[in-house]
Amino acid sequence: MKLRKLREEVVAVGMEALERGIVHGTAGNMSIRDPKSGLIAISPSGMPYPTVTPEDIVIVDEWGNVVEGRRKPSSETPLHTMLMRHRPDISTVVHTHSHYSTVVSCIRKKLPDILTEVVLAVGTVPVTRYGLTGTDDFAESVVEVTGPDTRAVIIKNHGLICFGQGFEQTLGIAEIVEEAAKVYVNALAANGGKEPDVVPAKLIPGMLKHFQANYGQPKN
Ligand SMILES: [Zn+2]
């Protein structure tokens, strides 16, 4: 069986996302790219997370052709593979139907800079135009708003997609973007529907510089 370790990682991240409340039921899908072969291990279509074993994970090439697997890959495989082609620097993709991110997808063109943490650790989170789910059009709607530094995109009337280097980092991004979306929606409600205060745009470049220079433990 090809890429056993990566298959196990896809199974584990599905359970982790379920336990952390990032996904529910059969919604959402995850993939990871093997740096050597470029092949991608992706979750199967429509299977509840606790029932998925490494044998159920499907190996596809970067065009979504099945290389090995007894199951049908996620119906959103074109989204994962187009993103992987568009961003050779990323190895993991996590797509969820997170509630508050989906609320924002219905009302805004981007997630407002509501939380300092997202501004610093994720950056701008754009919202796509409407795309036809499961098709290349859907994938294109995401790629169109994905720049070289984008780490998360909210998908119009649908959900959230995050990408990065490794599932731990990518799940963390999904979690804080959803938290920011929740704060935003609650702040709107608490503010009588008026736009809440956001992180002042003119302070962001300086904050980023300070964060990059000072955050975490010193490297030796
Ligand atoms: Zn979806």
For residues 159 and 96, the answer to whether their CB atoms sit within 8 Å is: yes
| Residue pLDDT, tens place only, 35-61 | 999 999 999 999 999 999 999 999 999
Structure tokens at 147: 């720049």
Residues with Cβ within 8 Å of residue 130, at least 6 apart in sequence: 141, 156, 157
* Ligand 1 centroid, distance to 44 Cα (angstroms): 13
Range 4-214 classified under CATH 3.20.20.60? no
Average pLDDT over residues 25-34: 94
Q: How confident is the model at residue 220 (pLDDT cuts 50, 70, 90)?
A: low
* Ligand 1 centroid, distance to 121 Cα (angstroms): 24
User: Residues 19, 55, 76, 178: which is the catalytic one?
Assistant: 76
pTM of the predicted structure, to 2 decimals: 0.94
Q: How confident is the model at residue 166 (pLDDT cuts 50, 70, 90)?
A: very high
pLDDT at res. 219: 63
140-175 CB burial, b ≥16 within 10 A, e <16: bbbbebbeeebbbbbbbebbbbbbbeebebbbbbbb
* Ligand 1 centroid, distance to 22 Cα (angstroms): 13
Q: Is 68 a catalytic residue?
A: no
Mean pLDDT of the chain: 95
* Ligand 1 centroid, distance to 76 Cα (angstroms): 7
* Ligand 1 centroid, distance to 204 Cα (angstroms): 31
